[in-house]
Amino acid sequence: MKYVDVIIDAKSDHVDTLFTYTSENDEIGEGRKVSIPFSGGKLRGGYVLAVNDLPPEALSGKTVKSIVEENEEESLPSDAVSIAMWMRRRYFCRTFDALRCFAPSGTVSKRGKKRVPKSPEFPAYTRNGETDAPNETFPVPDLTEEQAAAFAEVLPFIAQKKFASFLLHGVTGSGKTELYMRLCAEAMSRGRKAIVLVPEISLTPQMIARFMMRFGEERVATLHSKLSQGERFDEWIRIKEGRADVVIGARSAVFAPFENIGAIIVDEEHETTYKSDMTPKYDTIEVALKRATRHNAVVLLGSATPSVVSNYRAQNGLYRKLQLTKRYNTSQMPEIRIADMRTELANGNRSIYSVLLHSGISKALSDGGQAILFLNRRGYSPFVVCRECGYTFRCPECGLTYTWHKKESRLVCHFCGHSAKLPEQCPDCGGAHLRHFGIGTEKAEELTREAFPDARIVRLDLDTSGGKGSGERILNDFANRKADILIGTQMVAKGLDFTGVRIVGILAADIGLNIADFRSAERTFQLITQAAGRAGRGEERGEVVVQTYSPDHYAIQLATEYNYNKFYDNELLLRRTMEYPPFSDIAQITSLSEDANVAYNGAEAFRKAFLETAGKEAEPYVLGPQPAVIAKLGKDYRWRLYVKMVSHRRGIDAQILGDLRRNFNTARNDFHIIIDVNPFSLI
């Protein structure tokens, strides 16, 4: 008989501790899924975190309840427990919430039928004069000198089964994906597994198809939220049983239940989508590095615009830096030109198109080419205002302005999803003159159809890609030349590889510069560079037009010059001065309550308790409390404070914050504390 310590499936900090049970199975191990009697004999799920031959001293001589049922099939991978315990400390979450990341979604099919995700229908690709198509085999392309040099640096670590982390800084179109496949092949040839992460689900089919063409459908599995619960469950089981060698997916795929990982690839590593905004609020790259150390695997982070944090780590030896400075087909990088929309307006041009962009699209289409238009704002109009009294329509759940969606004839909140019908009269003054202001992708599509009536136009954003396979169909139509112009949000600004695109237009390059976030310039630089990289991937040089009202901003100027190093130096100087990441970790502490005063009191009590423990030295690094940008979300009011955990205090402050969170959330308070480390949204 064994004594096992079990963590219970419960959404309460009160039971975020271990409970001891007995098991007659001497082979039971960490990560085993079990059912146990709890709280009056009611069966609850849980996972085994430790196995012992003897009971704890506190239970010596006492009756210990037994496990009722074990589920070996759904047990977690061997590294799950240690990673989850680290996540609990790092991300201030409950243990079970961290373990759940490793668990399968859904359940076994009642009919016994395997639910297999549909293989992506992927358009033809042209590479080295050869056309790749699904389910066909083509010669593996030769590596360029730069690719070969990068590959040679990583290979010894895979061959010797040594942990190492690399940052691959490669310009758009330089052949990063080919390196990903080569490294995965090396891991697989040694009997090991590989995980490939992409930032957007819309990019997953493209990556899956490339890997399936190289390695065969049976060796490649997928994990992402667009799969049904049944498909995700069956894929999880297939991965766990070793019937797949490569897993491709969005951030949750980092938890794939492999036992022998050889390589973890993170494509577009700079993307904010790798930071979870749900509990647990984990950083995918940090989790990947932790898993890789457990498996003696290689981590490769790839990007044309590495994050400031990652590049700093590479400069300081935490990552090994690899570079690809030229496009694979040796074509020139697209020419980027700025269109000053202030001048356009002064000259009487009230169109969404500058003269430069309109003429560029016209020429590209007349030459048989295609165009991509990028606008990082979906919907028809971002806000609706009463022209008589100035009343702005806002979401009653979170207070943010509604976005008008013309096709659905609805006001929609893009934060919480709440929607409403637009009334005929202003609810404040009764006026009937309601006006839509601003422009989103839906309106951009309408105006583009007016400007280019003969062009075939498709739109890719969350509104058009919500259905299963819909985003893939849109991209396939564009790749197969069934569409001339692709309009979209940041979905179209990254990772896509279409040789017919002659011009890319960035309709409002400065939207992100107005966000109150220390990373706003970095994100703007990255989006411009990434969007520009979609042009000129064929034989002819591409063109990019950046439309902006802030043409002199350094992020925009340096992006048009492809001058990443100068941008990085500017940003690093600012962050060192202000002690922003990478020179600190920023902890966002949120106090939630149905009573606004209670929420404030909770935040203030937390601030005082932190400073009492941390001492006066920490006082300059605490900001707040203050209302959240969205002061009320659903039924909860939200007050926030921020703790800047600078380098020499990181460990101390993290320990204090973790202890205080547990103490506050297990006390009889009418508020709840949530902590997010380095949040990518301050909303």
pLDDT tens-digit map of 255-274: 999 999 999 999 999 999 99
533 phi, psi to nearest 5 deg: -70, -10
pLDDT at residue 605 is higher than 60: yes
pLDDT at residue 19 is higher than 70: yes
Q: What is the mean pLDDT of the chain?
A: 89
* pLDDT (mean) for 505-510: 90
DSSP code of 443?
H
pLDDT tens-digit map of 138-157: 578 899 999 999 999 999 99
* pLDDT (mean) for 294-307: 97
Could you write out the DSSP letters of every residue in 518-569? TTHHHHHHHHHHHHHTTS--SSSPPEEEEEES-TT-HHHHHHHTT-HHHHHH
Q: Which of 302, 189, 323 is nearest to 245 (CA)?
A: 189
Predicted confidence at residue 218, as pLDDT, reads 92
* pTM of this structure: 0.89
Could you write out the DSSP letters of every residue in 392-439? B-B-TTT-PBPEEETTTTEEE-TTT--EEPPPSS-TTT----EEEES-
The band of 121, judged by pLDDT with boundaries at 50, 70 and 90, is low
Lowest-pLDDT range, 279-288, 371-380, 493-502? 493-502
pLDDT tens-digit map of 306-344: 999 999 999 999 999 999 999 887 778 899 999 999 999
Q: Which of 374, 314, 649, 388 is nearest to 530 (CA)?
A: 374
Q: Which of 248, 181, 240, 249 is nearest to 215 (CA)?
A: 181
pLDDT at residue 298 is higher than 70: yes
Lowest-pLDDT range, 280-294, 354-368, 467-481, 556-570? 467-481
Query: Which domains does the chain possess?
Result: 2-100 (3.40.1440.60), 125-324 (3.40.50.300), 335-380+439-574 (3.40.50.300), 584-677 (3.30.70.600)
Lowest-pLDDT range, 238-247, 357-366, 512-521, 585-594? 512-521
Predicted confidence at residue 126, as pLDDT, reads 37
Predicted confidence at residue 466, as pLDDT, reads 67
Predicted confidence at residue 122, as pLDDT, reads 52
